[in-house]
Structure 1
Amino acid sequence: MQEMIIRLRDMVARHCAGSAVRTVVPGLMFFREEAPTMPAEVLYDPRFCIIVQGAKQVVLCDRVFNYDARNYLVTAVDLPVTGQVTLATRDEPYLALCLTLDPGQIAELLLDVQDDELKHGPLCPSCMSVSPLTAEILDPVTRLVTLVERPQDIPVLLPLFQRELLYRLLQGPQGYVLRQIATSGSNLSQINRAMHWIRDHYREPFDIGSVARIAGMSPSSFHRHFRSATMMSPLQYRTRLRLQDARRRLMQGRADAAEVAFAVGYESPSQFSRDYRRMFGHPPVRDVSRIRALSA
């Protein structure tokens, strides 16, 4: 495993000069930081991530996930999280890679996999979890990443390497959750459908009943399954998306707090300020000034 980690570290370092680089391999990104970062609000789509040097902390509501080169992280649905690189130096920068997970590819694989080859039961308590990295997972990852240096092989070999990686993930402790997002009619696939709708319409007012109908559930069942998957209610999920968008807009400096509040869907600037302070610990203007000062 250590030899594979070193090989991956060298390739990421060689091909990632900036903070984030989208590689020639579809869905594969490299990341690099030469110092610990400030907490940043991001929306994680379904993805598989490993760190080959350094460490990172990801926070989902009140759950904290710390991981490094000994672990991998999987997110099964779109989740608004706070991410922060916690270990990085100029001589030993934080280096990581993430691969987007396609529920359609998982569904195709499930058609060819015997059910007794996969673990059963919700071994992971939510749709984001950290698990120990294994040689069986690192092997296809290493071969997949080498395609960055052999782009002519991507059309033929990428589907094979992706399939093997997904198979290993399905065999692991997070296999149950991944199976659910790829299974039509499962509770998680229904929740995922509603989450996509909220993500596209979070600036608009809506009631739980209308979104529950999109998921094909009763309001009470939808609320229960949504909270189980995301650790927040549907309205809290919408609020986090609004506030993440608001913080980005404020950092760009193109509008004041009231204008941003209306732009992300709030009807009351005072309610926006209260929600913003509750989530980020400071009122909007003070929070942005603090981040800029710390960054400088």
Structure 2
Amino acid sequence: MDSALQELRRLAAHAENRRTETGIPRVAMVQGQVPEHALAAVYEPMINLILQGSKTMTVGGKSLHYDPATYFVMSVDLPAVGTVHPARTGEPYLAVSLTLDADILSPLLGDTIAPITGPNEPVAQTEAFNVAAVTPELIDAWVRMLRLMEHPAEIPALAPAYEREILFRVLQGPQGPMLRQLATPDSALARISASIQRIRRDYAQPLRIAALAAQVAMSESAFHRHFKAATALSPLQYQKQLRLLQARQMLCAHGMSVTAAALEVGYESPTQFTREYARAFGLPPSQDAARLIAGRRSGPTDPVELPHGQ
């Protein structure tokens, strides 16, 4: 497996310190050191494989650390903070990612054997993100996928097969139950994912828990429980993080005033907005925006996990 990991590092070595497209659908890579504040984003569903260095992902009150030969699976859109670290020997952080497509994932469910749970294990799993150790078979599928960068004419014919194999290997592993739930429409995780899409669409509107719960056919108490289990956040906390991230984008990319951004994302009090923004990002809005703009002028940031749609 070490030789396969070395080949992956060679194949991904030309990645930049920002999202680097590979020419392969849904596959991207990144290399470099990225400030923590630049990795606060809404992360889209993905499989992220670390090739060099390490990374810490914090969602709500839960932090996960992963390093080479481990992979991170996120099955719903989640506001998170990532911190990357170089290897102990000094080489820069290096990773590749595959964005999850439920339309590709669902047909695979019938081709994989669901893990058998023990007597003390729950049948259903609603957690939407976790880390697992890579297997030789999974690494081998990634090698064949990234080799296509050297043979772009083969991408249309072979990339779909390699993508299916990567998904198949993950379905067979410890994160398989998570992906199975995501691709099963009536599962708790799939219903929470649907509610997340509604919160994302209407993030500036008052959050109506009863309506969200009714939409996914859950009681309010069950909705709260499953939402927190999946995201490590309450629905209100999730919405607040979305609002703050969107306001950050407005301040940095569109030059909005602090008051205008606060009102645009649904805050009634600019004072409360400023207080919560500083708590989330470490600086008041105007100072944080100036820091980010200065950073972009001096060099690019890592967008393997940029906010969805950015």
TM-score of the pair, normalised by structure 2: 0.86
Greater Cα offset, 210-219 or 44-53 = 210-219
> Distance in 2 between the 1:6 and 1:171 partners?
24
- Aligned equivalent of 2:284: 283
Q: 1:135: how far off?
A: 0.9
Q: 1:236 to 1:286 in 2, by over 3 A?
A: same
Q: 1:91: how far off?
A: 7.0
Matches within 5 A, 1:195-234: 195-234=196-235
CA contact (8 A) 2:75 2:178 kept: yes
Give 3-state SS (helix, strand or coil) of 2:84's partner: strand
Cα shift readout 1:157-180 (whole Å, capped 9, x = no counterpart): 222212221111111111111110
> Distance in 2 between the 1:22 and 1:166 partners?
20
Matches within 5 A, 1:11-22: 11-14=11-14, 16-22=15-21
RMSD: 2.4
- Aligned equivalent of 1:59: 58
Cα shift readout 1:98-133 (whole Å, capped 9, x = no counterpart): 001122222101123344xx3545797831111112
Task: Mark the runs of 5 or more structure 2 residues left unpaired by the alignment.
Answer: 299-310
Give 3-state SS (helix, strand or coil) of 1:13's partner: coil
- Aligned equivalent of 2:301: none
Q: Which amino acid aligns with 1:287?
A: D
- Aligned equivalent of 2:112: 113
> Distance in 2 between the 1:231 and 1:31 partners?
26
Q: 1:70: how far off?
A: 2.7
- Aligned equivalent of 1:37: 35
Q: 1:287 to 1:114 in 2, by over 3 A?
A: closer
> Distance in 1 between the 2:143 and 2:228 partners?
35
Q: 1:223: how far off?
A: 1.1
Q: 1:203: how far off?
A: 1.6
- Aligned equivalent of 2:129: 128
Q: 1:126 to 1:138 in 2, by over 3 A?
A: same
CA contact (8 A) 2:128 2:189 kept: no
> Distance in 2 between the 1:122 and 1:57 partners?
28
> Distance in 2 between the 1:249 and 1:3 partners?
45
Give 3-state SS (helix, strand or coil) of 1:164's partner: helix
CA contact (8 A) 2:126 2:226 kept: no
Q: 1:160 to 1:73 in 2, by over 3 A?
A: same
Q: 1:251: how far off?
A: 2.8
Greater Cα offset, 23-32 or 80-89 = 80-89
> Distance in 2 between the 1:227 and 1:237 partners?
9
CA contact (8 A) 1:198 1:238 kept: yes
| Identical pairs, percent | 38
Task: Mark the runs of 5 or more structure 1 residues left unpaired by the alignment.
Answer: none
- Aligned equivalent of 2:162: 161
CA contact (8 A) 1:119 1:173 kept: no
TM-score of the pair, normalised by structure 1: 0.90
Q: 1:276 to 1:20 in 2, by over 3 A?
A: same
> Distance in 2 between the 1:74 and 1:240 partners?
20
Q: Which amino acid aligns with 1:25?
A: I
CA contact (8 A) 2:4 2:140 kept: yes
Asked which structure has the greater RCO (Cα within 8 Å, sep 6+), the reply is: 2
CA contact (8 A) 1:119 1:175 kept: no
- Aligned equivalent of 1:70: 69
Q: 1:266: how far off?
A: 1.4
Q: 1:85 to 1:257 in 2, by over 3 A?
A: same
> Distance in 1 between the 2:159 and 2:9 partners?
20
Cα shift readout 1:31-75 (whole Å, capped 9, x = no counterpart): 111x35233211111100112112222111121222121311110
> Distance in 2 between the 1:281 and 1:18 partners?
23
CA contact (8 A) 2:54 2:86 kept: yes
Q: Which amino acid aligns with 1:38?
A: E
Q: Which amino acid aligns with 2:12?
A: V
Greater Cα offset, 221-230 or 18-27 = 18-27
CA contact (8 A) 1:124 1:174 kept: no
> Distance in 2 between the 1:123 and 1:13 partners?
39
CA contact (8 A) 2:46 2:75 kept: yes
> Distance in 2 between the 1:17 and 1:187 partners?
38
CA contact (8 A) 2:195 2:216 kept: yes
Give 3-state SS (helix, strand or coil) of 2:157's partner: helix
CA contact (8 A) 2:44 2:76 kept: yes
